[in-house]
């Protein structure tokens, strides 16, 4: 399974005129569901086509305009996900639905083929259910609740995907991940992955 986390251009308020939120980094961690371990960590820098990295975005993610300018186009990033990471064949998870929706929006806007299959799981919703939380929490909060370390830099795609994968593995151990033998699948959280 692929665990994916994206970082996108962002601002403290509304985007400047003519600019939209675009993916600038894709973090991906491959999880071996049978071995129950994280087996690979990847990072794809993406060059924005219609906007610039704001000072706020750099403070949040550590990514600079000069760094993402050396990235690949969004179309190339999607091709890499499909070819090198089997994104269309493997199930995938992200922390919430933002990543899935951002990919959908950006693919539609740039007429790029959506690289993923339809087996997406919202790990944030599964975690809230697993821990009996009244509402979902952010990834850093989930790590604190689960007593797991935050490895690397928060709001860095590859590090966040790595940390989300550790939460996924914990939910698998607890039998609370869709597709786990003891998990009662709930509509809207995701489809079982096997």
The pLDDT of 17-37, averaged and rounded, is 96
List the single range of 76-80, 93-97, 190-194 with lowest mean pLDDT: 190-194
Task: Look at the pTM and tell me if it is higher than 0.85.
Answer: yes
**Per-residue confidence band for 192, with pLDDT thresholds at 50, 70 and 90:** very low
77: its two tokens: 């990033």
The CATH number for 2-173, chosen from 3.30.420.10, 3.40.50.300, 3.90.1150.10, 3.20.20.70, is 3.30.420.10
The mean per-residue pLDDT over the stretch 91-99 comes to 97
Q: Please, which pLDDT band fits residue 179 given cuts at 50, 70 and 90?
A: confident
CA 182, CA 99: separation in Å to the nearest integer? Answer: 27
| Alpha carbon distance 23, 37 (integer Å) | 27
pLDDT of residue 45: 98
* Average pLDDT value for the chain: 93
Q: What is the pLDDT of residues 149-170, one digit of tens each?
A: 999 999 999 999 999 999 999 9
**CA distances (Å), 77 to each of 8, 25, 57, 67, 188, in order?**
14, 9, 20, 15, 28
Mind giving me the DSSP string for 132-149? T-SS---HHHHHHHHT--
- The pLDDT assigned to 183 comes to 54
Closest to 150 (Cα-Cα) out of 41, 62, 159: 159
Domain ranges, ordered by start, for the chain: 2-173
User: For 75-91, what is the mean pLDDT?
Assistant: 97
pLDDT of 188 higher than 50: no
């Amino acid at each position: 399974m692929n665990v994916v986390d994206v970082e996108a251009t962002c601002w403290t308020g509304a985007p400047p005129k003519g600019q939209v939120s675009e993916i600038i980094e894709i973090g991906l961690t491959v999880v071996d569901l049978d071995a129950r371990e994280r087996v690979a960590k990847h990072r794809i820098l993406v060059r924005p086509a219609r906007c610039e990295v704001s000072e706020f975005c750099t403070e949040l993610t550590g990514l600079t305009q000069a760094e993402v300018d050396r990235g690949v186009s969004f179309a190339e990033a999607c091709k890499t996900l499909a070819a090198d990471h089997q994104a269309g064949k493997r199930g995938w998870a992200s922390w919430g639905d933002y990543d899935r929706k951002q990919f959908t929006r950006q693919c539609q806007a740039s007429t790029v083929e959506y690289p993923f299959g339809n087996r997406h799981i919202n790990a944030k919703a599964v975690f809230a259910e697993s821990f009996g939380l009244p509402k979902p929490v952010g990834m850093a909060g989930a790590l604190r609740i689960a007593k797991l370390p935050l490895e690397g830099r928060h709001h860095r795609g590859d590090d966040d995907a790595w940390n989300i994968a550790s939460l996924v593995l914990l939910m698998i151990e607890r039998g609370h991940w869709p597709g786990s033998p003891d998990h009662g699948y709930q509509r809207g959280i995701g489809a079982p992955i096997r």
